[in-house]
Copies of this chain bind each other. A is one copy, B any other.
């Protein structure tokens, strides 16, 4: 099986050595091998800093938006190729839509935001002059300019296309050349997307390195940006690197998250919110086989509704068909690999100490169109923990189709339980009681990057608990990494250096025009 090529300094090159075999999530066959050995990362960094930065610097914000649009449209045109590759990573058509169409949509939203909200210039003037003297001869204002560095984007395996595009779009608009380091299990999907768009972007604006990146951080410093999505362990390791601690490279992390969803006490069986809650929970468990950093891990329901919710969710899970993407009736695909399945099983074993598995068997699942053991299949797994004070559900993230139901007594208690997640990307409240919603949202806000309220009035148009929107911030405090991505043009601004400039009004004018 051939070695996956990296795109460095304008050329596609394969790493040397044996590399790592990447298996098809469904069949276990080797899809490709990945090795970063022998790749000249120093040359890639130099190419980004010299060629990429200069080429991007020649383009105004609207011109960058136009290039980004061309890239997004090329991906749209050839999205079937990405769907086909995604299936090999275990993704159903629905999963691939989240990744591929979601990524393209995100890039296009950024195109629109840039056209509307960024000037026909290469810098942003952030505010009006602030007078700094009574005579009006001296003032200050803030400009945002492109750092003289690059953006290293280290992505997770679950969304190889969306994860790349949601980081690339704001960095590209900001004029920062990008080096993408996709996660090995799905690097071939990201690399294919790069093949589709590479020639549509200026030279040096986008490079991709498959495999490890030893020594790369040694080359980065205060003008560079590192965007990371992945585990808290890796986040901590990267954040401890002298590139960050000593040279102050900007670092943005999105890491583990024990996201919650809260059912309101008003949402008894028969109320629309009861069904909305059960539907959303099952959706979050099964899309991407639960391999989503925003998936609901902790489902808090009023104590008196615990049995009813359990039954409603079990009934829905019983209709889930696990199997090969594209096979007849399949609604949930495979995990990305066998190692990840072992991780999920281990995490479920830990979670089960706090209660019991009430739906599914961690070691057994019926599968359509594939071999359940050769492929990385796992059943949806619903746990129930009657004592929500147990630590496990608030600490252990099973990165698969796994959620834990827990009871709560009142808004005060559920707010305490939410806080025990120590910071999450996304939470939701499913209730039609404005007082309850307000209390939980305001109590939970400091622990979340995003909070969704789901009710009968908004359900038809709701984008759902697990879907980050490019217009809104994505990220969360604490365990979730303390970072922030997207949020509309905030993400573009975050890639730029803010500088206060001071002088006479005429001087300030002549600098920015």
Contact = CB atoms under 8 A, between A and B. Distances in A.
Interface-centre pick from A240, A458, A483 (highest chain B CB count, 10 A): A458
Nearest to A474: B500
Given A423-B222, A458-B138, A501 B453 contact: yes
B140 A222 contact: no
Contacts of A477: 147, 222-223, 248, 497
A221 B480 CA distance: 12
Nearest to A246: B236
Identical subunits present: 2
29 contacts: A123-B442, A130-B488, A133-B461, A135-B460, A137-B458, A138-B461, A138-B463, A140-B469, A147-B446, A222-B422, A222-B478, A247-B422, A248-B478, A248-B479, A434-B510, A437-B507, A441-B511, A445-B501, A446-B499, A450-B501, A451-B500, A451-B501, A451-B502, A452-B502, A452-B503, A453-B508, A469-B502, A472-B500, A487-B500
A110 to B, nearest CB: 14
A462 B138 contact: yes
Given A146-B446, A223-B446, A235-B245, 18 more contacts: A130-B472, A130-B488, A140-B469, A145-B442, A221-B478, A222-B423, A222-B477, A222-B478, A223-B423, A239-B239, A239-B245, A247-B478, A248-B480, A438-B511, A446-B497, A450-B502, A453-B507, A453-B508
A17 interface: no
B463 A145 contact: no
Contacts of A487: 142, 498, 500
Contacts of A133: 460-463
Contacts of A236: 242, 245-246
A324 interface: no
A201 to B, nearest CB: 22
A336 interface: no
A510 B455 CA distance: 14
Interface in A474-513: 477-484, 487-488, 497-504, 506-508, 510-511
A88 interface: no
Interface in A339-388: none
B507 A434 contact: yes
A453 B138 CA distance: 10
Contact of A461 (B135, B244, B451): B135
Interface majority SS (helix, strand, loop, mixed), chain A: mixed
Contacts of A235: 245
Given A135-B460, A461-B137, A448 B499 contact: yes
A511 B247 contact: no
Given A148-B446, A499-B451, A458 B223 contact: no
B499 A449 contact: yes
A391 to B, nearest CB: 15
B253 A502 contact: no
A387 B477 CA distance: 48
Interface of A: 123, 130, 132-135, 137-138, 140, 142-143, 145-148, 221-223, 232, 235-236, 239-240, 242, 244-250, 253, 419, 422-423, 434, 437-438, 441-442, 445-455, 457-458, 460-463, 469, 471-473, 477-484, 487-488, 497-504, 506-508, 510-511
B140 A471 contact: yes
B245 A499 contact: no
B434 A479 contact: no
A481 B438 contact: no
A89 B471 CA distance: 51
A503 B472 contact: no
A128 to B, nearest CB: 12
Given A236-B245, A501-B441, A502-B472, A446 B145 contact: yes
Contacts of A453: 501-504, 507-508, 511
